[in-house]
Amino acid sequence: REHPDWTLHVPTRGRTTGRNQFVLDFSRPEVRDYIYTKLCDLLSSCNIEYVKWDMNRHLTEVFSQEFPSERQGEIGHRFILGVYDVLGRVTQAFPDVLLETCSGGGGRFDAGMLFFSPQIWTSDNTDAVSRTMIQFGTSLVYPIRAMGSHVSAAPNHQTNRMTTLKTRAVVAMMGTFGFELDPRKWTEEDTEEIRSYIGVFKRFQRLINHGMFYRLWSPFETDSGAWMYVSEDRSEALVCAISICREVGRLNPLLKMRGLLPDALYAVNEILPGHLARNMNNGAIEYTAHPVFQFGRELRISGRMLMTAGIPVKFIFDTDSVCFQLERC
């Protein structure tokens, strides 16, 4: 209200809001200084360790009153440079604050933003099946540790799809791995299951963040998605796969690995068993308190065999998932 000229808009026309918001003109130095000062005051007021920089208001009426009409074509570019300027000053002043950028999800994925924020919210769609495709595609350009990914509630708020907690955790591990759930609604079983997934991620976090990443099954080309992380010395790997949609009774697909030592022998263990099994008397999928494993025992297979022949993956239902650990014997 005090500085209407600080917003992007054409002075001779009405201003358009989006989400009841205007867009500040970051091409102007006084605007950048004001925002920086306010952020410094806020971040200094208490022990703030994390900031979600959400820019969900898209740019419209990109016109700055700081520049003449013949230079308005520069404003879109100058706006982004201004945002970079503020982010650079904030991160330099508060290097220990984790900054995550976002704009409706992956709208803030660009190399310039990654210079200031080590992680970016990949998408507001947190459905595990959708995220399999979203994160698979994002991984073609951006590192795994930069992709913000969470376990959210089911049915999902955007797709209304039901997925198991296990599958949601497996997909969320393909990124920063967090939870956006209401713990007041957890049962004791939920709490223990979530605790186990947190333990698994902590156990493999370095491998996920710094290992070699291989895409195995493309969810865009097949009815499943699969990927793996391999340590630099190729002595350890973590393999994850999810069924997108499979017809009942189809043959089990063979999952072929990549990046292993051909002549090395690997111990293969399933680390995240499920709790849904098919009743062989009537074909129904039923809950069981006993862990449901793919093989029920450790396998010992050469790297060459794992890469050329692979291992069968028995998906029991749509959105079923598996997770294997490979260790060199």
258 in Cβ contact with 228 (< 8 Å): yes
Count the alpha carbons within 13 Å of 325 in the hemisphere toward its beta carbon: 15
Locate tokens 């939870």: which residue? 179
Q: Which of 25, 33, 41, 124 is catalytic?
A: 124
Element (H, E) at 157: none
Task: Please tell me the distance from the alpha carbon of residue 302 to that of residue 328, in angstroms, as a whole number.
Answer: 9
Our answer to whether residue 124 is catalytic in this structure is: yes
The residue annotated as part of the active site, out of 54, 85, 110, 223, is 54
DSSP 177: -
Q: How many residues does the chain have?
A: 329
Q: How far apart are CA 265 and CA 286, in angstroms?
A: 36
Active site residue 190: no
DSSP conformation class of 283: -
Joined together, the tokens standing for residue 273 give 């068993």
In angstroms, the Cα distances linking 189 to 183, 193, 257, 275 are 12, 6, 33, 12
How far, in Å, CA of 149 to CA of 171, rounded? 8
> Catalytic residue numbers?
54, 124
